[in-house]
């Protein structure tokens, strides 16, 4: 029998936190080593922006495909199986990234790494949501988020410590992932999941998410709520060096901005879990964080990055804090669906959000093209306005899930 109570510092939470740590280390490492790795591979300076957008798009495509596959497996084979399989795949792919010799190899390996990275966080949140008492779910999610996001900070310092040796950074990330596999052995699937499977109902049928109007809109709203997060990470922060150039700011370091943004995002995720528990509302917490994000986006564009590298770092941190809702909306996704579709939804939703980044980049690229006649900065804020509006409407239409009983199935 599964123990009646799991604490917020129990093994599933610790494993989830460490797993997210390695997950984010790998996911954002490419952005940290992008310029140094491109230079080593012989990519011309004039092509680095376009090649970077291309590889990020392929990485996000891998996350999208992997999110659906791991989500289905999480309901069919169990949450623990996904935790093991996903980390094994992305650890091996991360190590292989350290051996690339061409841009094509780099692109394919980032795609494969994306496939593996897709399963980690959603499976962890699904499992802890089912194992922990409902009043502790938000706190456990905050712990996972805070510990996990520190992976980017670690990647930044390892990159600096290694003297910019991007290959070594990938080797270290893959090694940490393989080391985590030993902790996974002690993790059990939830009794809630085992009971649902024993009833011989449909488990992990992805079509059930789209063949019913209510479930389909629940699912789509879960995806759209997360769009502002990856607009901030994938457009504003990932290409903050280009924005600094557009604003006339010198001495700006993009990897440092990414690291500082994730320091703030770690605190944002932590407080999102705590605040939602204190005010007993996931929705109100999302509205608060959207307002913070909108404020700092306004300041970012109106003040043109603040006019100096230091001020731009501070604005990036503000944006990071405001976008610290990843674990919150994944927790909402887990709470919104029955046990037989919970992993399918909670794993695929955040990865489809990540997978929307190429679409955001396409919109951004179109707006700054000759057809639209918008400059780089104008195209960016128009893209942001569209994304924030979609997010606000989606939250309005979403039902509150705080303290919802999760022992139910979708029929």
Task: Give the model confidence (pLDDT) of 77-115 as tens digits.
Answer: 988 888 889 989 999 999 999 999 999 999 999 999 999
Residues 249/307, Cβ–Cβ less than 8 Å: yes
CA distances from 315 to 44, 242, 338 (A): 30, 15, 39
- The Cα–Cα gap between 319 and 297 comes to 7
pLDDT at residue 89 in the model: 93
Counting the structural domains of the chain, the total is: 1
* DSSP element (H, E) containing 187: none
pLDDT at residue 1 in the model: 46
Q: Determine, yes or no, domain membership for 256.
A: yes
Q: pLDDT tier at 267 (50, 70, 90 boundaries)? A: confident
Q: What is the CATH number of the domain that holds 73?
A: 1.20.1250.20
Q: Determine, yes or no, domain membership for 306.
A: yes
Helix axis angle for 11-40 and 120-131, nearest 10°, is 170
Q: Determine, yes or no, domain membership for 1.
A: no
Q: Determine, yes or no, domain membership for 6.
A: no
Q: Determine, yes or no, domain membership for 172.
A: yes
- The Cα–Cα gap between 356 and 16 comes to 25
Q: Determine, yes or no, domain membership for 405.
A: no
Q: Determine, yes or no, domain membership for 296.
A: yes
**Residues 6 or more apart in contact with residue 373 via CB below 8 angstroms:** none
Q: pLDDT tier at 5 (50, 70, 90 boundaries)? A: low
Q: pLDDT tier at 55 (50, 70, 90 boundaries)? A: very high
**Residues 6 or more apart in contact with residue 19 via CB below 8 angstroms:** 83, 87, 120, 121, 124, 148, 180
Q: pLDDT tier at 288 (50, 70, 90 boundaries)? A: very high
Provide, rounded to the nearest whole percent, the portion of the chain with pLDDT above 70. 98
349 CB-side CA count, 13 A: 37
**Host domain of residue 237:** 11-397
Average pLDDT, the chain: 89
Q: Determine, yes or no, domain membership for 409.
A: no
- The Cα–Cα gap between 163 and 283 comes to 44
Q: Please check the confidence at residue 297 and state whether its pLDDT lies above 90.
A: yes
Whole-prediction pTM: 0.86
Q: Please check the confidence at residue 184 and state whether its pLDDT lies above 80.
A: no
């Amino acid at each position: 029998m599964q123990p009646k109570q799991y604490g917020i510092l129990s093994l599933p939470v610790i494993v989830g936190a460490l797993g997210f740590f390695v997950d984010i280390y790998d996911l954002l490492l490419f952005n940290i080593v992008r310029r140094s790795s491109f230079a080593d591979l012989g990519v011309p300076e004039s092509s680095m922006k376009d090649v970077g957008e291309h590889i990020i798009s392929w990485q996000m495509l891998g996350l999208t495909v992997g999110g659906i596959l791991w989500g289905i497996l999480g309901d069919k084979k169990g949450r623990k199986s996904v935790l093991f399989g996903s980390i094994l795949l992305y650890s091996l792919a991360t190590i292989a990234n350290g051996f690339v010799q061409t841009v094509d190899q780099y692109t394919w390996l980032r795609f494969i790494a994306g496939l593996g990275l897709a399963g980690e966080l959603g499976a962890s949140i699904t499992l802890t949501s089912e194992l922990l008492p409902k009043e502790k779910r938000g706190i456990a999610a905050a712990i996972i988020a805070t510990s996990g996001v520190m992976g980017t900070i670690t990647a930044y310092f390892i990159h600096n410590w290694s003297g910019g040796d991007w290959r070594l950074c990938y080797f270290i990330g893959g090694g940490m992932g393989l080391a985590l596999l030993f902790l996974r052995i002690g993790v059990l699937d939830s009794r809630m999941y085992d009971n649902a499977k024993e009833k011989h109902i449909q488990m992990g049928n992805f079509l059930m998410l789209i063949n019913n109007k209510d479930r389909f809109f629940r699912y789509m709203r879960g995806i759209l709520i997360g769009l502002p997060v990856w607009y901030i990470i994938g457009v504003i922060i990932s290409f903050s060096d280009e924005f600094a150039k557009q604003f006339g700011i010198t001495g700006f370091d993009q990897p440092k901005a990414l690291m500082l943004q994730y320091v703030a995002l770690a605190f944002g995720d932590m407080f999102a879990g705590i605040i939602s528990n204190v005010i007993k509302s996931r929705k109100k917490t999302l509205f608060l964080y959207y307002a913070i994000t909108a404020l700092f986006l306004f300041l970012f564009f109106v003040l043109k990055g603040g006019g100096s590298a230091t001020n731009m770092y501070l604005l990036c941190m503000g944006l990071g804090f405001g976008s610290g809702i990843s674990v919150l909306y994944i927790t909402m996704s887990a709470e919104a669906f029955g046990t037989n579709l919970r992993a399918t939804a909670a794993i695929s939703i955040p990865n489809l959000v990540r997978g929307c980044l190429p679409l955001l980049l396409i919109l951004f690229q179109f707006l700054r093209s000759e057809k639209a006649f918008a400059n780089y900065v104008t195209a960016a804020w128009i893209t942001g306005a569209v994304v924030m509006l979609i997010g606000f409407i989606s939250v309005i239409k979403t039902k509150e899930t705080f303290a919802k009983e999760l022992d139910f199935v979708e029929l």
